[in-house]
Amino acid sequence: MGWRYHFIDLTDAQKHERRELLDRYAWIAQRSVILPLLVMQCYFLASWIRRRWANNADATAPSSPYLKEKRLGSWAITRALKSRAKGLAWWLGGEAEMYGSSLGSRGQVLIALAWTMWLLILCFADTGEDYLHLKFGTIAAAQLPLHYLLSVKFPLSPLQLLTGSSHETLNAYHQLLGRVATFLLYLHAVLYLNFYVQKSLLAVKVKEAYVLCGIVGIIAFTIVGTTALTPVRRWSYRVFYITHVTLATVLLPVLFFHVTHIRIYLYETAAIYALSFLSRSLCSRTFPGTVTAIRDTSLVEIKIALPDKELSRWHPGQHAYLSLPGHPLSRTVRSNPLTVASLPSTQTELRFYARILDGNTAKLAHQASLSNSIQELTVEGPYGVRTHADQLLQYDRVLFVAGGIGATFIVPLYRQLLADLSPSKGSYRRQKVSFVWAAHSIEDVTWALPGQMREREGFVERLDVYITRDSRRGVSARASINQREEYVDEEEEGIELEERKNLLYESEVSTGNEDDETKALCMAVYAGRPRLDVVVDLIFTDGMSEKIAILVCGPKGLRSPLRDEVGRWVRKGREVWFWEEVFAL
């Protein structure tokens, strides 16, 4: 079956009818997103009802082991289906890559493909044989408001409220929808380029303003898509971000002068863009703070004192965009996302820690080198999910895993959970919590130790630290900690080292001693990298029927192997909440 479309000469009335059909299907393409949102709300409601029913069922469970076994046996098929469903959900949550660039999770990519197919169906619907009736351009334009809305950084974003997702999750869909819209615009450009060539109009059309605006728009979309690729963002996040924000702004007037019938979507997009700017301005506050370089590390510490009313807005696991004061229009390209590393409920200040790279962090480090005096800092936030601390209390056993500065996300949640479970060191409930932290050196860890001695004792109780790059001093199984650290020789460790030796690999233990201040605590410190398979197996085998929560923040080289190890247990039917905290860089 050949290509059925060809050029058709239409009367003015037929052209008007075609215009109405184009606009109608663009309207359908834009409003179609309401249906999956409604389905999602129904799913949330069904999940809430199921949880209530499960709680009531647990409350009326028989005490007899025989009756329990009989009752569970009657639900064997249901449990098997649930196990398969968990395995499928886990697979869908895995990362999809193409040519070294992350496309998001497999589930997100499948949703994007389904959405693409739906848009293509709308592009070809009711077109007959009219070549110029294909709707690639107008349907792509109809996606722009949703595309911009997915990128809005605003705690009260309607999509965040409706989906229960964080900005970082929605940003993955923002990237995928951008690729879909660009694909449709390429088809639109090729369609009209072929038309102009076939009709010998190309030389004339390229001189007209609306066609030039279309060419500029296609080039801008291409640059935005190219700079958004993972290799480019890794090379220079600053180049990507400035290019992205600048061209996203320039595109609106360019498309406005391209054609008139898509202007309604440009008005909507501009309104969302203005709302985003306004909301970020409203979420920004300037407070006095200090920036201090941490000795023997590439880290800076930022302390910002806040009044109690402001502190009450912050929760463990949230983050902010931090920058030196400046004009609001340029602030977005001068700020970095930093996780609040302190515990707002017990402290009178926000603390942030950042590794010095380039751009804004380099400027902060420069300020720290000039003076430790108080200076003005702009904080935009809070952003991120605020319910992590409460959700952790619903699980029987919790594992925290951090890599390097990724501990800024983990540490406040760890401290909050320990405080919520029991105020006393050594309690039974605290034994269900584990914290594994891989860091370059011991100095990269000590910033996290609480100031109060009692809390510090409880903090290090469930913490295992793995030093991966510190070649200056030896690292053994225990290190006595107060303000400085002392590394003990392997032979002095005896039985405890032998019991924990299977958690070590690539270990290069050497001996070394330093003058330390009074040592009052012992913190588990190991050389090399953690054996994630052993760590995960210990968590799951200690409680065969327990619900497990695992939270990780760190480089991909840590997150991906951990997810693979946890996946083995998910496929066995274990109930797991696995959260990867990743900034969309």
Distance CA 176, CA 295 (A): 42
Question: Residue 39 burial by CB count (10 A; 0-12/13-18/19+): exposed, middle or buried?
Answer: exposed
CA 103 to chain centre: 13
Distance CA 439, CA 447 (A): 12
Specify the pTM: 0.81
| Pair type for strands 284-293 and 375-383 | antiparallel
Distance CA 492, CA 501 (A): 14
CATH number of 388-580: 3.40.50.80
Residue 489 per-residue DSSP state: P
Report the 3 state secondary structure along 60-109. Answer: CCCCCHHHHHHHHHCCHHHHHHHHHHHHHHHHHCCEEEECCEEEEEHHHH
Neighbours of 550 (CB within 10 A): 25
What does each C-alpha distance from 539 to 152, 227, 386, 433, 436 come to in angstroms? Answer: 38, 41, 25, 9, 12
The residues with which 522 forms a beta bridge, in sequence order, are 480
**Residue 109 in 3-state DSSP?**
helix
Element (H, E) at 400: strand 397-403
Domain ranges of the chain: 12-32+95-280, 38-92, 283-383, 388-580
Distance CA 238, CA 234 (A): 10
Mean pLDDT per segment of 10 residues, for the chain of length 585 residues?
A: 80 90 95 91 85 65 52 57 81 83 86 96 92 93 94 77 80 91 96 93 92 94 87 78 88 94 95 85 84 83 85 87 67 70 82 77 63 76 86 94 93 93 80 93 88 84 87 43 35 31 34 38 84 93 85 92 94 90 64
Distance CA 340, CA 349 (A): 10
Q: What is the pLDDT of residue 343?
A: 85
Tokens in use for 451?
């100031």
CATH among 3.40.630, 1.10.3470, 1.20.120, 3.40.1440 for 12-32+95-280: 1.20.120
What does each C-alpha distance from 231 to 226, 235, 571 come to in angstroms? Answer: 10, 6, 32
Distance CA 501, CA 73 (A): 41
Class of domain 283-383: mainly beta
Q: What is the pLDDT of residue 568?
A: 92
Q: How big is the chain, counted in residues?
A: 585
Give the sheet arrangement for strand 349-355, strand by strand. 336-339, 319-323, 375-383, 284-293, 299-305, 349-355
Question: Are 461 and 414 in contact, with CB atoms under 8 Å apart?
Answer: no
Residue 6 per-residue DSSP state: B
CA 472 to chain centre: 35
The 10 Å CB-count burial string (b at 16+, else e) for 399-427 is: bbbbbbbbbbbbbbbbbbbbeebeeebee
CA 512 to chain centre: 40
**Residue 340 in 3-state DSSP?**
strand
Question: Are 30 and 145 in contact, with CB atoms under 8 Å apart?
Answer: yes
Question: Are 78 and 572 in contact, with CB atoms under 8 Å apart?
Answer: no
Tell me the CB-side half-sphere exposure of residue 413, using CA atoms within 13 A.
33
Q: How many separate helices (H) and strands (E) can be counted in the chain? A: 24, 18
**Residue 575 in 3-state DSSP?**
coil
Question: Are 338 and 319 in contact, with CB atoms under 8 Å apart?
Answer: yes
Got the DSSP string for 360-399?
HHHHHHHHHHH--S-EEEEEEEEES-S-HHHHHTTSSEEE
CA 59 to chain centre: 36
Q: What is the pLDDT of residue 492?
A: 31
